[in-house]
Amino acid sequence: MPKKKRRKIKFKAVSFKLTSSQKAKVDAFCKENGTTPVTMYKKAILIYLEHKGYGNYKPSMHPEEHKNQMSIFDFIE
């Protein structure tokens, strides 16, 4: 049986600037927790996006009900 070809993962480069004090704090945090700055950035972004509701779309307006529309509860009453 032939092996399935793995799907290639696409990555996009992102760059941003930090002050020297911010970089020192990131380095100290990473050294203390045994992680790399890149993984810390990725986790921080994921946590931020989850808390802000990214991916959990909830419509702000409820669908309108028309006056002539019947409900399943009309027959019970």
Asked, for residue 45, whether it belongs to a domain, the answer is yes
Asked, for residue 77, whether it belongs to a domain, the answer is no
Residue ranges making up the domain that contains 37: 20-51
pLDDT of residue 72: 67
Which pLDDT tens digit goes with each residue over 12-22?
998 989 999 99
Asked, for residue 29, whether it belongs to a domain, the answer is yes
Higher pLDDT among residues 72 and 2, named by residue: 2
Q: How confident is the model at residue 36 (pLDDT cuts 50, 70, 90)?
A: very high
Asked, for residue 14, whether it belongs to a domain, the answer is no
The span from the CA of 23 to the CA of 37, in Å, is 9
To the nearest whole number, what is the mean pLDDT of the chain?
81
Asked, for residue 38, whether it belongs to a domain, the answer is yes
Mean pLDDT of 48-63: 68
Asked, for residue 1, whether it belongs to a domain, the answer is no
pLDDT of residue 46: 86
Task: Write the burial class of residue 26 (CB in 10 Å: 0-12 exposed, 13-18 middle, 19+ buried).
Answer: middle
What's the total number of domains in the chain?
1
Q: Where are the beta strands (DSSP E) in the chain?
A: none
Q: Measure the N-to-C terminal CA separation of the chain; round to a whole number of Å.
A: 62
